[in-house]
Amino acid sequence: MSIIVMKFGGTSVADINCIKNVAKKIRNELRNNHKIVVVVSAMAGTTNQLIDWVKEAAANVNKREYDVVVSSGEQITSGLLTLALSDLNIYSRSWLGWQVPLLTDRIHSKASIVKIDTKAIKNFFKTGDVAVVAGFQGVNSNGDISTLGRGGSDTSAVAFAAALKAKRCDIYTDVEGIYTSDPRIVSKANKLVKVSFEEMMEMSSQGAKVLETRSVALAMKYGVRIQVLSSFKDTLGTFVVDEEEIMEKKVVSGIAHSLNVAKITIVGIPDKPGQAAKLFSGLAQSSINVDMIVQSSSPDSNSTDLTFTVPETELKFAIDAINKTKFDVGFKEILSDIDVGKIAVVGVGMNARPGVAQKMFESLAEKSINLQVISTSEIKISILIEASYVELALRTLHSAFDLDK
């Protein structure tokens, strides 16, 4: 018996018509003689609405209760889809996280998956065909409902695929796959046939919004083949697979960007060992993701400045966390700027071929685009620039690296 996981995002289940369309897609896949685990998100906009209500209900939000409310969107869609499937005479039933159970740690609102018990679902598959699972939610060792963080149903889907050794994890969404760049900005962007786990990791962590970063990390760890495809069109999507499967290793496969980024500079840090550790431990405790770190020393080399980026939505918390270390670290001041955007050029072939950085910087210089921060990894070069130049920079780099269609 082979199992396929099909995950449907919020826009794919936005209303009853969409849900019926999803039920038909599942019926088509059943014709290939698979058992199917379907993972659903909440209907588009529902989770945002639930979060707004939570915030209106109380000034201090208790995270246990936040999870009780915010997980409910997926409960609705799992039931509705099962109803639509039974209307097509398909033998299915719904499962909430605690019913599976999908066990998480005890961090409410950003829980990590500890274990999925597959016994009950496998047992159901002796007679049943489709298990519809509510994404994004689980249960912790206290018996409390937990959620996995925004976009977490991608992670639910990959985790089920790994636990059940599924043949494939198909992520259905409102775009046709992964593109060389955001097609809304770069009209010449192309759909990729295949992309490696490593490249996809970099692209999603640098701002490509199609897949949640954690889900890609999980897929890479367990070798889960992902396909990203459209709910509304019958076309093949993009496969996210092991690097070995990709014959032609391109120097640049894609260019990601994000405007949800803010730059922080901590000025005048007395130059002695242990300072960065103190500063960043405060940020880590507040679960703030830090990226693009650069340090520069002052001419007299008694003090240093430290610049890094954080998600713009977490800027306030980051500044609070750093301020708490002020006495201990003894820096002069904190500067911040939200008028910035990040662009990352990603490709597994990059580490074998020199000159990528030079080409990137030259093409941006020709358009008089100023680079504020640069950071690199083996398969990525990212830059921070003024927000208003992001679109121009994306189009310029897309052409410079021969990605235009």
Interface contacts to ligand ASP, rule CB under 6 A = 9-10, 41-42, 47, 73, 135-136, 150-154
Cβ atoms of 46 and 150 within 8 Å: the answer is no
Closest distance between Mg ion and the C-beta of residue 209, in Å? 7
# chain residues binding Mg ion, by CB under 5 A: 2
The DSSP call for residue 191 is B
Nearer to Mg ion, 77 or 396 (CB): 77
According to DSSP H, which parts of 260-389 are helical? 275-285, 315-323, 326-329, 356-366
Using CA atoms, how far residue 266 sits from 219, 263, 326, in Å, is 36, 10, 10
Give, as ranges, the residues between 135 and 174 that touch Mg ion (CB under 5 A).
151
Alpha carbon distance 1, 19 (integer Å): 26
Alpha carbon distance 21, 27 (integer Å): 10
Nearer to Mg ion, 93 or 209 (CB): 209
How many CA atoms lie within 13 Å of 229's alpha carbon, on the beta-carbon side? 20
Which range in 1-9, 134-142, 183-191, 384-392 contacts Mg ion by CB under 5 A?
1-9
> Which of Mg ion, ligand ASP, none does residue 10 bind (CB under 5 to 8 Å by kind)?
ligand ASP
> Which of ligand ASP, Mg ion, none does residue 73 bind (CB under 5 to 8 Å by kind)?
ligand ASP
Return the H-helix or E-strand segment holding 173.
strand 168-173
Alpha carbon distance 136, 8 (integer Å): 12
Nearer to ligand ASP, 47 or 94 (CB): 47
∠ CA 397-400-403, rounded to 5°: 85
Token pair belonging to 107: 């961090």
> Which of Mg ion, ligand ASP, none does residue 136 bind (CB under 5 to 8 Å by kind)?
ligand ASP
The DSSP call for residue 179 is B
Nearer to ligand ASP, 173 or 275 (CB): 173
Nearer to Mg ion, 158 or 266 (CB): 158
Give, as ranges, the residues between 6 and 25 that touch Mg ion (CB under 5 A).
9
Alpha carbon distance 298, 152 (integer Å): 43
Give, as ranges, the residues between 23 and 62 that touch Mg ion (CB under 5 A).
none
> Which of Mg ion, ligand ASP, none does residue 170 bind (CB under 5 to 8 Å by kind)?
none
> Which of ligand ASP, Mg ion, none does residue 80 bind (CB under 5 to 8 Å by kind)?
none
Nearer to ligand ASP, 74 or 198 (CB): 74
Residues at the interface with Mg ion (CB under 5 A)? 9, 151
